[in-house]
Amino acid sequence: MLTANSIWGLTTPMAKAVLLFESVTFLSLTSYRLLGAAVVFWIASFFTKKEKVSSHDLVLLFFASLFSIVFNQGFFMKGLSVTSPIDATIIATTTPIFTMIISAIYLKEEVTWVKIVGILLGAGGALLLILAGKSNAASAGNGLGNLLCMLAQLSFSIYLVMFKGLIDRFSPVTLMKWIFTFASLCFLPISLQSMESVHYDALTTQILLYTAAIIFGGTFLSYLFVSVGQHSLKPSVVSMYNYVQPVVASVIAVLWGMDSFGLTKTIAVILVFTGVFLVSKGKFQKER
């Protein structure tokens, strides 16, 4: 989980760089990302143990693909296209908070006052980013972009909690093979026009390398590692590793000159991280 979230933090600035290319839209990049990962997972499945997947499980896998990939990546890539890498990854740390809330409702996990305070602080930090982006005329659209990134995290949290049983039944390769296949089938019909409009002859070597890294590292490897982690960790623990993303992405984005780290974002980070810490602390105390 640590490796997967570190990769995601690194690929967020890469994805932003690709999206800055004039003819590349969030739809085309997301479609290549999903289709590329599906192909790699199918290739990997030929070298792993074959597993029987029933028609009932295929239906569940389809809905799992909606929440884990289609809604998650669709909202995130669209949000990233109009906001900054740092904002997007800071908001990614709200996943533990959403996961804790959904676990309390769906799995009947106890919610303590420590967790409630943590949830409020984390939500306040994310809300601060959304409002700051909306009020900043120099970065019009940031508020909407940040909100979409938050919806992406909510979608993934639903997947972590409500499809835990499905996740445990299959190996990581089998699980991801079908999830990415269904996700690709959902995305392709609405993205074909965007894919055709890309000026492929004008793509630089850097953009091509970034895209390849996003497909293989930021999608295939990271989702494979997440699936492995899900087999031995609870959903709330899995989601806690998201705090790694803004650390990695912030450093890379600032080094590349793509973003800056001002007072508002610093306060937002402190609020979100404090919220995640309190939620985690409450969880660990209960387990002990």
At 134 the pLDDT is 52
Work out whether the CA dihedral 13, 16, 20, 22 comes out positive or negative: positive
The pLDDT assigned to 141 comes to 43
Residue ranges in the chain assigned as alpha helix (H): 2-19, 26-45, 55-65, 71-81, 85-92, 95-106, 113-135, 142-162, 164-169, 172-196, 205-215, 222-232, 235-240, 244-255, 263-287
Write the pLDDT tens digit of every residue in 42-70. Answer: 999 999 988 999 999 999 999 999 999 99
pLDDT tens, residue by residue, 74-130? 898 888 888 877 777 778 777 888 888 888 888 777 777 887 787 788 778 777 766
The pLDDT assigned to 287 comes to 44
Residue 144 belongs to domain spanning = 2-287
Number of domains forming the structure of the chain? 1
pLDDT of residue 286: 47
What does DSSP assign to residue 22?
T
Query: Which segments of the chain have a pLDDT < 70?
Result: 129-142, 246-247, 249-250, 253, 258-261, 279-288
